[in-house]
Amino acid sequence: MRRPIVVVGSVNLDLVCVGKRIPAPGETVRGDDFQTFHGGKGANQAVAAARLGSPVRMVAKVGGDDFGKRLRRGLQTAKVNVQAVSTAQDTTSGVALISVDRAGQNSITVVPGANDRLLPGDIEKALPAIRSAGILLTQLEIPMETVEYLCTVAQRYQIPLMLDPAPARPLPRKLLRQITFLTPNETETCLLCGVSPAEVTAATVDRFADFLQGGATNVIIKMGRHGAYLAGSDGVRKLIPAFKVKAVDSTAAGDAFNAGVAVGLMDGLDLVEAVRYGAAAGALATTRPGAQNSMPTASEVKALLAASRGRSSKPRRTSEKAAAQAAD
């Protein structure tokens, strides 16, 4: 029996406006479309891992409103075990206001609601589930004291822990040392390293990965279309290229990436291959709108990986180019 991936994190309802562009401060723009989706970085990672075929348990808190019931049902439908998802009756569920432009870029405002009530006591209550984990995934949409407590639990029971430091906030060095896989994007890397966005490029990223690796065991910097830079504890330093796909919405692509890396590791891949698997999952998630509903299946990920391998190892006939381009 495979050990489950246990996700300790947020659950949100995403309110998504799609328009020509994302409004600047003080500006009103007209949108083309509005939809609600099930989201939250934690829940997205849980659903992504389940869709990729892993057993998944979620530790989270929803509000005592209709959104809470809907979000919990959504997780169950995705085959995520929700025994450790509790309800804070006197508050609202987490919501995220998301603007998406026609290039698929987004900006997000999160109101945590019940996510802020997920406390160290909830980790204690969920200990049997947490101890069953092959790997723990968490993010920063829940209170920092909960993340810190989870890190000490992970260390006590020697369970690998992957922290997605999103949304960006400073992290104590002590906490970094308890993390097995740290997966910042470029913005989070800047904040954690105290540098400006212009300084983190494909040419300089190794320096920042080294700096962060002074704390966390393995560092994977997610650089969107530039790929993912891996600094592994075994000395591996590698930029894993992004897969080129037709992106319509980048929301939750980073969550799909983290889930993909975790599933890859649980399936016995080495870290480089697991990161490739995560990159393929992340790329596929951008090809569909929304968060949890955009998560790919294992066969979609395998097809994308196979198509890209075929492309790099075989000379192609012209008729094969279009399919390979979609996959690369």
- Residue number, 192 or 291, with CB nearest to ligand RIB: 291
Q: How many residues bind ligand RIB (CB under 6 A)?
A: 16
* Contact call for residue 16 and ligand RIB (CB under 6 A): no
Smallest distance from the beta carbon of 10 to ligand RIB, in angstroms? 6
Q: Which of 71, 110, 161, 271 binds ligand RIB (CB under 6 A)?
A: 110
- In sequence order, what E strands does the chain have? 5-8, 12-19, 31-39, 56-63, 80-88, 94-100, 106-111, 135-139, 161-164, 181-182, 218-222, 228-231, 237-240
* Token pair for 208: 């920042």
How far is 28 from 22, CA to CA, in rounded Å?
Answer: 9
101 noted as active-site residue:
no
* Contact call for residue 250 and ligand RIB (CB under 6 A): no
* Token pair for 74: 């959504």
Counted residue by residue, the chain has a size of 328
Smallest distance from the beta carbon of 235 to ligand RIB, in angstroms? 31
CB neighbour class for 53 (10 Å; exposed up to 12, middle 13-18, buried from 19): middle
Side-by-side strand order, sheet with 237-240: 80-88, 56-63, 5-8, 135-139, 161-164, 181-182, 218-222, 228-231, 237-240
- Residue number, 215 or 296, with CB nearest to ligand RIB: 296
Smallest distance from the beta carbon of 43 to ligand RIB, in angstroms? 8
- Residue number, 153 or 255, with CB nearest to ligand RIB: 255
Among candidate residues 234, 255, 267, 328, the one labeled active-site is: 255
Smallest distance from the beta carbon of 214 to ligand RIB, in angstroms? 27
Span 19-48, contacts to ligand RIB by CB under 6 A: 39-41, 44
* Contact call for residue 255 and ligand RIB (CB under 6 A): yes
How far is 172 from 218, CA to CA, in rounded Å?
Answer: 17
- Residue number, 91 or 308, with CB nearest to ligand RIB: 91
Angle between helices 318-327 and 298-313 (to 10 degrees): 130
**Please, are residues 123 and 146 in contact by the beta-carbon 8 Å criterion?**
yes
Q: Which of 65, 122, 141, 188 binds ligand RIB (CB under 6 A)?
A: 141
- Residue number, 65 or 255, with CB nearest to ligand RIB: 255
* Contact call for residue 291 and ligand RIB (CB under 6 A): yes
Which are the contacts of 322, defined by CB distance < 8 A and separation ≥ 6? none
**Please, are residues 14 and 38 in contact by the beta-carbon 8 Å criterion?**
yes
- Residue number, 192 or 256, with CB nearest to ligand RIB: 256
* Token pair for 230: 């891996």
Q: Tell me which stretch binds ligand RIB (CB under 6 A): 119-127, 179-187, 192-200, 248-256.
A: 248-256
Residues noted as catalytic: 255
Q: What is the binding site for ligand RIB (CB under 6 A)?
A: 10, 12, 14, 39-41, 44, 96, 108, 110, 141, 251-252, 254-255, 291
